[in-house]
A and B are shown apart, each in its own frame.
Chain A
Amino acid sequence: MNPVPTGLAAAGVLAATGAAVALVLPARWRSAAVGVATAGVGAAGAAAGVAAVSGHGWRAEYPDVLPLAGVSLAVDPLAGWFLLLTGAVAVVVGVYAIGYAGRGGHGPGARGPLALLPVFVAAMLLVPAAADVPTFLLAWELTAVTSLLLVLVEHRHGPAVLPAGLWYAVMTQAGFVTILIGLVWLAAAAGDPSFAAIQDAAGGLSGPVRGGVFVLCVAGFAAKAGAVPLHPWLPRAHAEAPAHVSALMSAAMVKLGVYGIVRLGFDLLGGGPRWWWLALGAVGMLSALYGILQAAVATDLKKLLAFSTSENVGLILLGLAAAGLLASAGQPAVAAVALAAALLHAANHAGFKALLFCGAGSVLRGTGVRDLDRLGGLSRRMPATTALVCVGALGAAALPLGNGFVSEWLLLQALLHQATDAGTLWTVVAPVAVAVVALTAGVGVATFVKVVGTGFLARPRGEEAAAARESPPSMVAGMVLAAAACCALAVLPALAGPALDRVTAGLRAGPRPFEGGAVDLRLAGVGSTIAPLWIAAGVVGLAVATAVMARLAGRPRRRAAAWDCGDGPLTARMEYTATSFAEPLQRVFDDVLAPEQDVDVTPAAESAYLVRSVQYRRRLPDRIEARLYRPLIAAVEVAGRAARGLATGSVHRYLAYMLAALILVLFAAAVR
């Protein structure tokens, strides 16, 4: 029996059951039942994914399910990789949601939001499994609609939720329209909507058609992936959605945009000319840098994580662009390494970002705030959450021992490879890309030091943080699952080697990127090796040995007040906050970030020198949004107002419009 259809069928049945159960059960049992069902959907999807990446293919047609087009499904290793990723995130989120939604039956625990959760996961699993254009578009739109409804769950709690939902709705639908046009154009040019037929016909299509389809679809996919400059919905939606929804969206849904680009660029169109990949690489680099700079100066924890999603998507896109460029330059071996780096980074990002968003939800639940300037001192009050967030932050900072490091190492290996036959273009582009990755990694480290250092350590900076309490066991259990996945990816990435080999082989991208090896990742195209397990063992072993030896040789530890300059105990106001921590970076990147600062000095009466109070305000508006989207929105508004003049309510006028339209259509038909 083929495990792929079994897994997918189980996921579908469980999703339907979960949705039905959510509508029927009383509030007390609802979240537990739906959480288990969602985890089950995820587990079934992940099982199907594992089967697919280990070599079980599957393909089926259901012509009667939908009128006109029917439904066509197929799972190859590439689809399997994304099924596995989405499923695994859903397991984490399902377990986490039991405690997060709670028993109260309000907010995320209400009937509708809980019923939508398993449906959203199932829709996401359907996207990689789709094997023709109509099925793909259907699954894509189902994902968009369910996620939009989930973003809006807490619309009564904050004034920022509705605008966030609106931004997301507009951008995701605009993206859908470009994908729709692109894929329909491609299917029309190929003469058949099934992916297999498009693949066969794509080679014979003319350059402009292929280029047009690529640009349209990649624009839509990049909007879904949150790449700069199509990102403004992301910090809003991720920040305002409930934590488990943010985790699902950031860790899994955003990756579907990546999946779309891989499927289209490498599989359906089978690679393309250089300008495609240069454009994609430029978007990737812009995303990586702009995302991490905004994250570095953000103080809202969830907004910071959302900008970091843009950054990681940028790195993934950069990997894909490098793969495409190297493949078009006749370097298939290194191209395969770059592609594997991008795919592995997608999995790593799914792991640590699911963990971090769940951690942010846990902090929000325990304290009621998500402003880093008012947090702190959580390492004593929420020890489990703190430890788990640290695992996620280590991965997100791409430091050794964290899971992000391995994929960034792979990406750097592909970029550092001096492909002399790849031409002057690569010679110029590669160093720039390396520098961008390095700066991104460096600022990323500073960002996550800020998150852990000011969010969780030392003294609480506000009353809310001082009264924090640990989250319920199910939330912690969900995070533990994610942390375990992160640790496994960090020390034993070689386990993913065969799967990535199969994915790249399935895409005909090049030879297998990995040369086997049980604990070390040996690259076939590039003469480099890494053994993360030994590095981790070395650091941990040496640290423990040092601590033990120093303790044996010396005296016991004592606790005493920190040096307070003789001025009484230190208060929380004297601590560095997240804003002050990021201030040097903000100054260094002043030209890019363009902060708006305001200093109001109120002098005491009768004296210009004695100051009564000083007020300092700083705002960091998203510059791209202000420059690009505000004018666009203003233009749309003007056009909308002008269009109002067309519809005055006069029946005569409407009849004239219809006549004109009819004449136009007849004319067009006659000319043709």
Chain B
Amino acid sequence: MTSITSQKTGARRPSPAPLPDRSRKRGGRPSGLPWIMPAFVFVVGLLYYCIIETGYLSTLDWDGTSPTPTSVGFGNYSQILQDPIFWKAIWHTVVFFIVTFTVQTAIGFVFAALLHSKIKLGAVYKVLVFTPVVLAPATMAPVFRQMFAADGQLNWALDHIGLGFLSQPWLAQSSTAMPVIMFITVWQFTGLTFVLYFAAMGQIDPETLEAARTDGASNLRVLMSIVWPGVRGTTVALAMLGVIGALKTFDVPYLVTIGGPNYSTEFLGTYIYRISIPSAHVGYGAALSILLLILALLGAITVAARANRKDGESSV
């Protein structure tokens, strides 16, 4: 755009550097289109096309391979709204998000604050806290299944420290299976929360902290009145990622409890897989996927909107 205008008004502006012959033959400037085309096709083709295709599939009664799918319009959606497992999965997602986000935020924030102070072996602690983030859930799932089994290490440890009365088959009970899934998730992702808070705390102006201390603010006061508001952007980003992550939760519950017992650890992700693959209701699974997408977008928008409103209020 600029170079085209420049050619037309060339008398008043310094001439641009001579272009290669091929470009000049094509209209005087190198177009960006060929350069962005591969990425454009990739992004639009793979991402948006898949969403549109999934939207189309959600209107079918189809097993995924039959050449004769049946159109059911919005039938799958109305069926989903009456599906108790769907609502159970939504409820689990809400509880899961609230608990894991709160615990991860608290632990990550405290760890980050502690490791910003001069403590011995700080680098070692950072590695230890972050290591679970890079471990694949598929690798860790058998370990946790064994640890929380009725004859697993947790019960063994409880027995040996005189807390045998607390021993129970953790993964076999609806009441304890979900807390185990939450524990594993907190263990796995607190490192990420910690790293982001650690980086965000590094951006807080040291002079502000110094001024607060000069005014006699305690550590807790500094933490709550300066550091916490200072990392608000990170908290909002983590909340947004948390909402989306909770909605997409699949690997840990699927690998550790297969969504059970009795759907007590069923999430939208595991339900979509169960419905689409073993049960071969691809149309119904696609409708669930579209709802998941809408919920993820709504969740992210809500978190962002609330954050913007708060920003607006605090600036006033």
Do A and B interact? no
